Amino acid sequence: MPLLSLFLFLVTCGAALSSTGYFWHITDMHWDPDYQVTDNPLAVCPSASDPVKNPGKWGNYLCDSPWALINSSIYAMKDIFPNPNFIIWTGDDTPHIPNEKLSDEAVLRMIGNVSQLIQHVFPDIKVYAAMGNHDMHPKSQFPATGHLIYNRTAELWAQWLDAASIPTFQKGAFYTEKLLHQKGQRIIILNTNFYYNRNALTVDLSDPAGQFQWFDDVLSRASTAGEKVYIIGHIPPGFFEKKRGTHWFQENFNKRYIEIITKHSQVIAGQFFGHQHRDSFKIFYSNNGFPVSAMFIAPAVTPWKTTLAGLQDGSQNPGIRLFEYNTDTLQILDVVTYYLNLTFANTWAPRWEKEYRLTEAFQVPDATIESMQTVLDKLSQDKSHLQKYYEYNSVSYDLGECNEWCRTDHICAIKDVDYSRYKNCIKSGGSSGMNEMWLLWLSVLILALLFRYN
């Protein structure tokens, strides 16, 4: 290779590397401070719905997280990638126990302890944090008129919040900031607990705390300013792939969220949520069926077995997630999930290891909306890819077969966030027409290009 060509190659490679950044996503830690290793199966943890046999130091698949597991997850992030550009943390710090066993002070103490751990391990790293439905007392009852827990949480997160973020956080636990104070880049932190169908305080409101109007306005200003935007929150819209027909938002709130995302999709570079304790994603489409935005749903730290009636294999291995992104455009380049095999940890020692890298596992060039649509197409059409995704969905805990019923549930939850489209998708066995519309548009585009250059 001539010297000039070699020089240009090295410069190009250096520029590409310099524009690659990394951020961690951690969610749903659900600390159970009463977890204990004991021979009494009824005394291991109050978060379990069944007697717990053979509990280990690092946790149990029936229980929420002992402190040892939470501590291990944060230090694993430090060991694996110690200097991320930033961290996103999408809430849920308290255990799955009755409201009468908690209080405002107990919830704040748990939020505070986890916050202090992150601040200790990553003292100089910016953290963008959203509240989960378990970060309130009573759980899920987030008021639209301010609350002591909003005010006190803002104090706990003072080193992470810009001064301008505090008023909206105190109003309703949502805020926006320039991402790492960069020009042309923004992050929006939502309180989607307002829209939860278990929140009795907001069910009769059209726009709790004015967050929808604020969200629309922030995105409109971002468009005018030429900004790219990340959106984070706890509870996602749409449906839960592990139990057919299960959704989290009130239907009117779900519809409004979709409208805002599709309206402003050109400025949205990524959406990042938790709550489901599962590794999944969702795709949003334009009115003409073109994929316009992807939502990444991260797995939980807690291995807790869900109590949703009728759901089998409701546990999961603890997981944490590292994103690679373009620091100039905010384009998501790759997604790497790390996990702790809880059985191995309790038998031998905790070992956080790479579960999978998105681009390698599904053979796509990056994690853009186009690539995520390709992943969906592979899940829809190839049983081996579907099975791989299914195992990743529970962080390599449930290794059973994903049958046709399972395929329909997962495909429809990914591609149909809208309630009516989801129902049609389920009726048609996973084919609501959205994939067909995408393929039709792609075919038209290819034909147009062939006509133009021939």
pTM: 0.92
The CA angle 121-123-129, to the nearest 5 degrees, is 85
Separation of CA 33 from chain center: 24
Q: Encoding tokens for residue 202?
A: 């907001």
Q: Alpha carbon of 85 to those of 82, 180, 232, 316, 366: distances in Å? A: 10, 8, 16, 28, 19
Residues in the chain: 454
Q: Which structural domains are found in the chain, ordered by start?
A: 16-452 (3.60.21.10)
pLDDT of residue 9: 47
Give the type of residue at 316: Q
User: Could you give the angle at which helices 383-393 and 404-415 cross, rounded to 10 degrees?
Assistant: 70
Query: What phi and psi values does residue 98 have, to the nearest 5 degrees?
Result: -60, 150
Place of tokens 């304790």: 277
Contact assessment for residue 166 and residue 150, using Cβ atoms and an 8 Å cutoff: no
Q: What is the pLDDT along the chain (454 residues), one digit of tens a residue?
A: 455 454 444 444 454 557 999 999 999 999 999 999 999 999 999 999 899 999 999 999 999 999 999 999 999 999 999 999 999 999 999 999 999 999 999 999 999 999 999 999 999 999 999 999 999 999 999 999 999 999 999 999 999 999 999 999 999 999 999 999 999 999 999 999 999 999 999 999 999 999 999 999 999 999 999 999 999 999 999 999 999 999 999 999 999 999 999 999 999 999 999 999 999 999 999 999 999 999 999 999 999 998 887 777 789 999 999 999 999 999 999 999 999 999 999 999 999 999 999 999 999 999 999 999 999 999 999 999 999 999 999 999 999 999 999 999 999 999 999 999 999 999 998 875 445 554 555 555 555 555 554 5
Q: Alpha carbon of 252 to those of 172, 188, 189, 241, 316: distances in Å? A: 19, 21, 21, 21, 31
pLDDT of residue 161: 98
Q: In 10 A of CB 384, how many CB atoms?
A: 8
pLDDT of residue 312: 72
pLDDT of residue 311: 74
pLDDT of residue 15: 47
